[in-house]
C-alpha cells in the first residue's frame, strides 16, 4: 500500500469518526498527539507527586494545598500576561522546555537528597501549579488555530487524545516502575514535555496553511 493510500485511508477514518475534513487531518492529528503527550507527561508524575505529599507529611497536606494556591496566584497573572503578549506558538515551546528542565533538576535533587521534606514540598507544589496553567493555555492555542465552526466538530476528538494520555500514563508507570525505578519517571515526563514543544511548532505551520487556504477560497 502506498503512502498516499495510507493517508487517504486515515483521512477517511477521521472523516467517519470525527467529521474531520481532508485539509484538517494533519492539524487535528498533531493536536490529538499533542494533548496525549501533555496529559500523559503530567499523569506519569502524579504517583510521584502523591508520594512526595506523604514524604512532607499527610497531616500537613493542607499546607501543600495552600502553597499551590499561593504559587498559582503569583504565577498565573504573569503567565497569562506573557501568553497574551507573545504568540502562543512561540511562547509555549519555551514553557514546555522550562518545565522539562525543572523536572531534570528535581531528578538530580532526588538523587542527591533522600526524602527531604522541603524538596518534596517544592515538587508537589510546582507540579500541581504548572498542570493548572498548561491545560488552560492548551485550549487557548486550539482556539487560536481552529475557527469556532471547526471547534464544534473537532474539539471532542482532540480532547480524546488527553483522555487516552491519562489512561496510558498509569499503565506505563505500573508496567515500568519496577524496571526503571521511580526517579527516572521524571526524565520520561521531561521527554514528553519536550515532544509537546516540537508539536506546537508543527501546529503553527498548519495554522499558516489554514490562513493561506482561506485567502485562496
Give the Cα separation of 62 and 43 in Å (integer): 21
* Cell numbers found for residue 203: 501546529
Angle between the N-to-C axes of helices 184-216 and 117-145, in degrees from 0 to 180, rounded to the nearest 10: 10
If one compares 6 and 75, the residue with the highest pLDDT of the two is: 75
For residue 7, what pLDDT band results from cuts at 50, 70 and 90?
low
pLDDT value at residue 66: 93
Give the Cα separation of 156 and 173 in Å (integer): 26
Mean pLDDT of 43-51: 90
* Cell numbers found for residue 51: 508520594
- pTM of the predicted model, to two decimals? 0.86
CA distances from 172 to 52, 53, 112, 138, 176 (A): 20, 21, 26, 23, 6
pLDDT value at residue 123: 93
Angle between the N-to-C axes of helices 25-56 and 3-18, in degrees from 0 to 180, rounded to the nearest 10: 70
Q: Which CATH code for domain 27-216?
A: 1.20.1250
pLDDT value at residue 131: 83
**Distance from chain centroid for Cα 76:** 17
| Chain segment 174-209, per-residue pLDDT in tens | 998 888 888 899 999 999 999 999 999 888 887 777
Residue pair 74/171 in contact (Cβ under 8 Å)? The answer is: no
What is the residue extent of each domain of the chain?
27-216
pLDDT value at residue 3: 44
Average pLDDT taken over every residue of the chain: 86
pLDDT value at residue 212: 54
Residue 121 has pLDDT above 80, yes or no: yes
Residue 73: helix, strand or coil by DSSP? helix
Amino acid at each position: 500500500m502506498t503512502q498516499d493510500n495510507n493517508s487517504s485511508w486515515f483521512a477517511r477514518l477521521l472523516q467517519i469518526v470525527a467529521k474531520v475534513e481532508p485539509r484538517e487531518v494533519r492539524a487535528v492529528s498533531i493536536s490529538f498527539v499533542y494533548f496525549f503527550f501533555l496529559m500523559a507527561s503530567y499523569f506519569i508524575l502524579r504517583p510521584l507527586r502523591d508520594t512526595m505529599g506523604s514524604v512532607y507529611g499527610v497531616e500537613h497536606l493542607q499546607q501543600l494545598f495552600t502553597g499551590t494556591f499561593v504559587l498559582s496566584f503569583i504565577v498565573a497573572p504573569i503567565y497569562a500576561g506573557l501568553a497574551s503578549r507573545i504568540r502562543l506558538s512561540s511562547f509555549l515551546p519555551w514553557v514546555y522546555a522550562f518545565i522539562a528542565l525543572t523536572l531534570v533538576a528535581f531528578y538530580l535533587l532526588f538523587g542527591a537528597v533522600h526524602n527531604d521534606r522541603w524538596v518534596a514540598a517544592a515538587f508537589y507544589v510546582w507540579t500541581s501549579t504548572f498542570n493548572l496553567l498548561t491545560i488552560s493555555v492548551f485550549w487557548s492555542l486550539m482556539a487560536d488555530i481552529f475557527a469556532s465552526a471547526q471547534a464544534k466538530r473537532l474539539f471532542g476528538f482532540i480532547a480524546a487524545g488527553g483522555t487516552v494520555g491519562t489512561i496510558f500514563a498509569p499503565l506505563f508507570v505500573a508496567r515500568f516502575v519496577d524496571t526503571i525505578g521511580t526517579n527516572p519517571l521524571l526524565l520520561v515526563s521531561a521527554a514528553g514535555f519536550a515532544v509537546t514543544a516540537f508539536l506546537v511548532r508543527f501546529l503553527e505551520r498548519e495554522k499558516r496553511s489554514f490562513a493561506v487556504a482561506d485567502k485562496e477560497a
